[in-house]
Structure 1
């Protein structure tokens, strides 16, 4: 099982410093790193070349590590779609910082299932 790091920038001015700092120990260990520089968040993660390469090279049981949630998704719909892709491939996703840090977003534990269900609720509702 391998840790795989994913970095993404929204603009040319953004630097890797904050993302690399959040993933510092893993960077030092030589974990494979995949990057999508200057990629708009409206481009779905699985359509980005760096993330696609990561998925192609990842093996069942590998863990994708990102600095913060905004590097991979921006909406509840993105979270649900990416979660489904990761689960089909047997991958894990850990976010280093923010409210979503501390659990595997692709996991099947009760806390993660509840979180995903709450996110998916408005997507599956026809009337609010």
Structure 2
């Protein structure tokens, strides 16, 4: 676990064939810089598909969306695919309204994202 600010925490774990980054708290202008730095550090050595668990995100603004898009772009440079898992209804709505639901593979659970990535070629969902 990495407590980046009092308002956001990041957990990372490796599962067979995947890396999961779980974000807990608020994704906003006050938290995304620290998150971005930590995620970029994790991406440097990553070779497995990445699942971003959004189930613990209580708030997300444009900065949070920019973080997700930037993470996906950087992951692609490393040949890593990105899927989003378990976004709460307000985050799912934000992804839909902005059209980002078409740029990401979005799954109801981390387990569903694992199953989907296990059967998909290693290419991006965008």
Asked if these proteins are the same fold (TM beyond 0.5), I'd say no
Mark the structure with the bigger radius of gyration. Answer: 1
- Compare the two structures and name the one with the higher strand fraction: 2
